[in-house]
Amino acid sequence: MVKVTIDNISIEVEDGTMILEAARKIGGKIVPPAMCYYSKLKKTGGKCRTCLVKVAESSSRDPRPMPKLVASCSTPVQDGMVVQNITSKEVLDARKAIVEFLLINHPLDCPVCDQAGECDLQDLSFLHGVMATRYEEGRREYPAIDIGSYIKLHMNRCIHCYRCVFVADQLTDQRVHGMFYRSDSMEISTYIQNVVDNDFSGNVIDACPVGALTDRTFRFKSRVWFLKPIDAHRECNKCCGKVTAWMFGNEIYRITGRKDQWGEVEEFICNECRFERKEIKDWFIEGPRKIKRQSVISANKYEKLLKPNQK
Amino acid sequence: MGRKILTGLVTVPGIRSFPVYRGEGGYMSVEKALCEMTPIDIIKEVTKSGLRGRGGAGFPTGLKWSFLDRKPDKPHYLVCNADESEPGTFKDRFLMENMPHLLIEGLIISSFALGANTCYIYVRGEFKYIIGLLNKAIREAYENKFLGENILGTGYSLDIFVHPGAGAYICGEETALLESLKGKRGNPRIKPPFPAYKGLYDCPTVVNNVETIATVGPIIIMGGEEYASIGKGKSTGTKLISACGNINNPGVYEIELGLPVEDFIYSQEYCGGIRDGKRLKAVVAGGSSVPVLPADLILSTPQGQKRLITFESMQEGGFDSGTMLGSGGFIVYNEDQCMVRNTWNFTRFYRHESCGQCSPCREGTGWMEKVLYRIEHGKGKVSDIDLLVSVANKIEGNTICPLGDAAAWPVASAIRHFRHEFEYHIEHPEICNRMDHGKLIEQPAASIKYR
Ligand SMILES: Cc1cc2nc3c(=O)[nH]c(=O)nc-3n(C[C@H](O)[C@H](O)[C@H](O)COP(=O)(O)O)c2cc1C
Ligand code: SF4
Ligand code: SF4
Ligand code: FES
C-alpha cells in the first residue's frame, strides 16, 4: 500500500493504482474528469488530457515536482506523492483550455442530439467551459452514417477518445472499425461501410462519451430526461443480462448497460438484450435506478421523487 | 579546420562499397570491440566520450544504454531511428547515402554492447533509394562475416533488418516508431514505461539516431577520452549540421561542437555568408521544431557573448531569447523573407503531421494553421496575434509527446521576435497577395537588427 495526497486529502491505495483511481476512491469534487479513460477497458486513457493534474511532490523518496502536468488516468501513484487538482490554478486553466480545444470543432448540435442530457462533454463544458468561443474558422463536417443496423455514427461529434476502438478490440471477436487518417482529419470509420455487426458491438454506444455513436433503435424517440431509468434483468446466455431499461409510461424506449457514478457501465451487455428485447414481459423489473452523475437527467429529480420524507 | 570524425572519408571514390571502406580501415572498430572488449567496457567508453543523442533531445547515450533492463529472460533490441523528417534536417540522409558501412559498423558494436541479437533500421518511407543502398551494404557485411552467425568467431550473432516507414513525421518519435515497427498505427504512448524497459514487442529496447550510432565506431577506435577532448563542456565531439536557406554554400557540414555561430555562417569553410550580399534576418538553428531567433540573438547570447554551436550555449536565454541545438537543421533567412509565411508553413506541417491522439495538439495545430493562413493571406485581425500566442501556450506541455511543444514554439517565438511583421500583414492586406511580399514589409528601425 502507498500513501497519496490529493488536494490535501490523504488515502492509502495499492501500489500501481493510477492517480485518477485513487481520487475516485476519495470521491467528491476532487475527482478529475475523464473523457477517454474507461476503467473497464484496458489501455484506455492518456489521450483527451482533461484529467491533467499537477504532481507537486513525486514521492517521499524524491520530493521534486513533476515538470509538466500529467494525465492522472495514466500516471501511477508513488508513496508520498502529493497531487493538486482543483487546488491548482494551473490545472484548472489547462482544463479550461482542453475543453476549448474539444469544442472548437464540435457542432454544438445538442438540441438534436440523442446524447444530450447524459453527455460527458456537456457536463464538462458546464463545469469548465467558457461561455463564448474564440474560434471563427470553419468546423469539420462529415455526413452521419449508419454503421451496422443498430448504430449511427455522427463523426462531427466525436472527440477521438478511442474508447469504441478498445471496446471492439476487447469485447468483440473482430474489430471492423477504427481510427483513420491523422491530425484533425482523423475519423472513426468502418473498413467497409455497414459491417459493425457483432454480439457486443452495441457497447460502443455506452462507452462513447458524446453523441458520436448512438442507438438507431432509439433515434429521436425521446429526450433522455423524459424517461425513467429502471433496473431490470433477464436470463441471457450471452451476457450478464443486467440492464437499465429507460421507460416512458409502460413502454421501454431503450436499453443500456447500468452506468455507475463515473458514467461507466458496471457490466457490458449483449446486442440481443440491448436492441431486441423492448417488451416489458421480457424483463424482471428490479426498481428505479438512481443516476448519480450531475447531469440534467438526475438534476434533483429522483432523489426527491424516491425519498420525499428524507431530508 | 575542424576534425572530421564521421565524414573524413566521404570524398574517397567508391567508399559506399565494402572493399574500399575496408581498405580505408573500416570495420577495425568492430574487430577491436568484439574481440578485445566486453559489453560493459564499450558502454564505459561511450559514457566517457560524453556522446549525446543526435536525434534532437541530446540525452547522454552512455547513460541511456546503462538504463537498459538487462534481465536475460527477454531478447533486447537496438532500433536505429532513420526517420529523419524534420524540415531543415537532412544529415542522416547524407550519412546513409555516403557512408552506409559506418552506420552498420556502429550498429554491430552497439548491439553487442546492449546484448541485442536483432537490430532494426527504421527508414523514412520517402528514402526509397537509401533502403536499397543500406540493404546492399548489409548484404556485403553478411558476405564478409561481419553479420550473421558467430561474427569473427566470437560466438556473437546479429541480424540487421531495414524497415521502411510509411511517410509519417510522428514515427520519428521513439514510442511511435516502435508501434509502427510492430505494424500498428504510429501513435506515441505515454512514457514511462520507457523503451529501455518496455519497447519493441514489450522487450527492452534502445532507440538511437543514425548519427549517434555512426559515432560509436570512431569512439571505439580513438577512445572515449580523446573524443571527449573535442568540443566544449558537456557538448563533446563533432556534429553534423545541415545548412540551408539564403546562404552561399548550403550543405551538410561536420563541425566541432563549440564553433561560434557567426563563424559557421560567414566562414568560407562552411556556409560562406549570406547569398547575394543581403543581410541576415533570422535563423532556425535546430530544425523546424526549435524557436526561431533574430540575427542579433543567434549571433550572440543575451549576455553579449558569442553564441556557440553547443547544446548549452544555444539554450542560453531560455525561451525568451534562446533556442535549441535540436537535430542540427540550420535554416538561414535573409532580409527578404517573410516570417509570417514561414511560420504558417511550419504550422501547416505540424497540422498535417500530428498523430491526432491528444486534444490540444490535434485541435490546436489546426486552429493555429487556419489563423495563420488568414493573416498571411490578408484576412487577419489585430486580435489574432494574441489568440495565436494563447493557443500556442495552451498546447505546450499538455500533450503526450513533444510534437505539441514543437508545434507551439515556432509560433510563439516568431510572434515574440517578429510581432511587427504580423501586425504589418494585418494593417496592409494589399501586400499579402504578392509571393515576394517579404521584401515589402517595412521594419521599424528599432525593432530588428540585421547583420
Ligand atoms: C515528433 C518527433 C519527431 C522525431 N523525429 C526524429 C527523427 O526523425 N530522427 C531521430 O533520430 N529522432 C527523432 N526524434 C527523437 C526521438 O524520439 C528519440 O529521442 C531519438 O531517436 C533518440 O535517439 P538519440 O538519443 O540518439 O538522439 C523525434 C522526436 C519527436 C518528438
Ligand atoms: S466515436 Fe465516440 S467512443 Fe469512438 S472515438 Fe469518437 S467519441 Fe470516442
Ligand atoms: S502531441 Fe500530437 S503527435 Fe504527439 S501524441 Fe499528442 S496528438 Fe500525437
Ligand atoms: S481521461 Fe486521462 S487523458 Fe483522457
Is there an atom of ligand 4 within 6 Å of A37 CB?
Answer: yes
Whole-number Å distance, alpha carbon B168 to ligand 3 midpoint, is 12
Note whether B146 and B30 are within 8 A (CB): yes
A216-254 pLDDT tens trace: 999 999 998 889 899 999 999 999 999 999 999 899 999
User: Listing from the earlier edge strand, what are the strands of the sheet with A145-147?
Assistant: A145-147, A151-153, A213-215
Please state which architecture CATH assigns to domain A2-99.
Answer: Roll (3.10)
Does the distance separating the beta carbons of B398 and A94 come in below 8 Å? yes
Burial class of residue A143 in the structure, from the number of CB atoms within 10 Å of its CB (0-12 exposed, 13-18 middle, 19+ buried) = exposed
CA–CA distance from A15 to each of A1, A18, A39, A42, A77 (Å)? 6, 9, 17, 18, 7
* CA R_g for chain B: 22
pLDDT at A299: 56
Note whether B406 and B365 are within 8 A (CB): no
Average pLDDT over residues B165-170: 92
CA–CA distance from A148 to each of A112, A163, B18 (Å)? 21, 18, 58
pLDDT at A304: 46
Q: Containing domain of residue B305, as a range?
A: 232-334
- Cα(B421)–Cα(B432) distance, rounded to whole angstroms? 11
C-alpha cell at A298: 438526475
Q: Which distant-in-sequence residues (6+ apart) come within 8 Å of B7 by Cβ?
A: B95, B98, B99, B240, B252, B254
Burial class of residue B369 in the structure, from the number of CB atoms within 10 Å of its CB (0-12 exposed, 13-18 middle, 19+ buried) = buried
pLDDT of B280 over the 50 cut: yes
pLDDT at B319: 83
Residue B206 lies in a domain: yes
Query: If residue B335 lies in a helix (H) or strand (E), which one and from where to where?
Result: none
Instruction: Label residue A162 left, alpha or beta by phi (over 0 means left) and psi (-120 to 50 means alpha).
Output: left
Instruction: Label residue B145 left, alpha or beta by phi (over 0 means left) and psi (-120 to 50 means alpha).
Output: left
Domain final residue, candidates B228, B244, B262: B228
- Cα(B55)–Cα(B173) distance, rounded to whole angstroms? 10
Whole-number Å distance, alpha carbon A171 to ligand 2 midpoint, is 16
B331-367 pLDDT tens trace: 999 999 999 999 999 999 999 999 999 999 999 999 9
Q: Which distant-in-sequence residues (6+ apart) come within 8 Å of A111 by Cβ?
A: none
Q: Are residues B107 and B236 in the same domain?
A: no
Q: Are residues B293 and B388 in the same domain?
A: no
Whole-number Å distance, alpha carbon B80 to ligand 1 midpoint, is 10
Residues in chain B: 451
- Cβ neighbours of A186 in B, within 8 Å: 356, 362
Cβ–Cβ contact B365 with A under 8 A: yes
pLDDT of A61 over the 60 cut: yes
The ligand 4 atom at the shortest distance from the C-alpha of residue A161 is 4
Domain final residue, candidates B228, B252, B276: B228
pLDDT of A66 over the 80 cut: yes
- Which of B280, B290, B347 has the alpha carbon at shortest distance from B322? B290
Enumerate the domain spans of chain A: 2-99, 106-215, 224-298
Can you count the helices (H) and strands (E) in chain A? Answer: 7, 14
Whole-number Å distance, alpha carbon B159 to ligand 4 midpoint, is 40
Cβ–Cβ contact B166 with A under 8 A: no
Q: Is B424 strand, coil or helix?
A: helix
CA–CA distance from B73 to each of B79, B204, B206 (Å)? 19, 10, 17
- Which of B271, B292, B273, B272 has the alpha carbon at shortest distance from B283? B292
Q: Using 50, 70 and 90 to split pLDDT, how confident is the model at B436?
A: confident
Whole-number Å distance, alpha carbon A213 to ligand 2 midpoint, is 7
Does the distance separating the beta carbons of A49 and B398 come in below 8 Å? yes
pLDDT at A137: 93
CA of B246 to nearest chain A CA: how many angstroms apart? 32
Average pLDDT over residues A254-259: 94
Q: Are residues B172 and B69 in the same domain?
A: yes
Residue B4 lies in a domain: no
- Provide the 8-state DSSP code for A89: H
- Cβ neighbours of B367 in A, within 8 Å: 101, 104, 135, 137
CA of A232 to nearest chain B CA: how many angstroms apart? 37
Fold of A106-215: Alpha-Beta Plaits (3.30.70)
Q: Using 50, 70 and 90 to split pLDDT, how confident is the model at A192?
A: low
pLDDT of A197 over the 80 cut: no
Q: What angle do CA B346, B351, B357 make, to 5 degrees?
A: 140
B375-409 pLDDT tens trace: 999 999 999 999 999 999 999 999 999 999 999 99
Q: Are residues B111 and B195 in the same domain?
A: yes
B177-192 pLDDT tens trace: 999 999 999 999 998 8
Is there an atom of ligand 4 within 6 Å of A241 CB?
Answer: no
CA–CA distance from B433 to each of B65, B163, B379, B443 (Å)? 53, 43, 11, 19
- Which of A160, A305, A149 has the alpha carbon at shortest distance from A225? A305
CB atoms within 10 A of CB A233: 16
Note whether B333 and B285 are within 8 A (CB): no
Cβ–Cβ contact B367 with A under 8 A: yes
pLDDT of A194 over the 60 cut: no
Q: Using 50, 70 and 90 to split pLDDT, how confident is the model at A310?
A: very low
CATH (domain of B400): 1.20.1440.230
CATH (domain of B245): 3.10.20.600
Q: Are residues B94 and B71 in the same domain?
A: yes
Question: What one-letter code names the amino acid at B193?
Answer: P
Q: Are residues B280 and B408 in the same domain?
A: no
Beta strand residue intervals within B285-363, DSSP E: 292-294, 329-334
B206-247 pLDDT tens trace: 999 999 999 999 999 999 999 999 999 999 999 999 999 999
Is there an atom of ligand 2 within 6 Å of A164 CB?
Answer: yes
pLDDT at B443: 76
CA–CA distance from A43 to each of A36, A70, A301, B193, B318 (Å)? 10, 16, 35, 13, 36
pLDDT at A87: 94
Does the distance separating the beta carbons of B356 and A182 come in below 8 Å? yes
- Which of B296, B298, B294 has the alpha carbon at shortest distance from B314? B298
Q: Is A189 strand, coil or helix?
A: strand
Q: Are residues B245 and B302 in the same domain?
A: yes
- Cβ neighbours of A184 in B, within 8 Å: 351, 354, 356, 362-363, 365-366
- Cα(A20)–Cα(A27) distance, rounded to whole angstroms? 10
Q: Phi and psi of B349, rounded to 5°?
A: -60, -50
Average pLDDT over residues B259-275: 95
Mutate to test the interface with A, among B319, B347, B362, B396 (most CBs of A within 10 A): B362
Does the distance separating the beta carbons of B190 and A46 come in below 8 Å? yes
Question: What one-letter code names the amino acid at B321?
Answer: S
Is there an atom of ligand 2 within 6 Å of A158 CB?
Answer: yes
- Cα(B163)–Cα(B123) distance, rounded to whole angstroms? 6
- Provide the 8-state DSSP code for A119: -
Q: Are residues B307 and B159 in the same domain?
A: no
Does the distance separating the beta carbons of B365 and A184 come in below 8 Å? yes
pLDDT at A306: 47
**Looking at the 3D structure of chain B, how many domains does it have?**
3
- As a 3-state breakdown, chain A gives helix, strand, coil percent values, each rounded to 5, of 25, 20, 50
Beta strand residue intervals within B263-355, DSSP E: 280-284, 292-294, 329-334
Does the distance separating the beta carbons of B394 and A94 come in below 8 Å? yes
**What does the buried/exposed string (b/e) look like for A193-230 if buried means 16 or more CB atoms within 10 Å of the residue's CB?**
eeebebebbbbbbbbbbbbbbbbebbeebeebbebbbb
The ligand 4 atom at the shortest distance from the C-alpha of residue A33 is 1
Whole-number Å distance, alpha carbon A288 to ligand 1 midpoint, is 55
Residue B138 lies in a domain: yes
Beta strand residue intervals within B263-310, DSSP E: 280-284, 292-294
User: Listing from the earlier edge strand, what are the strands of the sheet with A228-233?
Assistant: A251-256, A242-248, A228-233, A284-288
pLDDT at B295: 92
CA–CA distance from B195 to each of A17, A22, A47, B66, B191 (Å)? 21, 26, 19, 13, 8
Domain final residue, candidates B334, B355, B370: B334
Q: Are residues B316 and B250 in the same domain?
A: yes
pLDDT at A302: 46
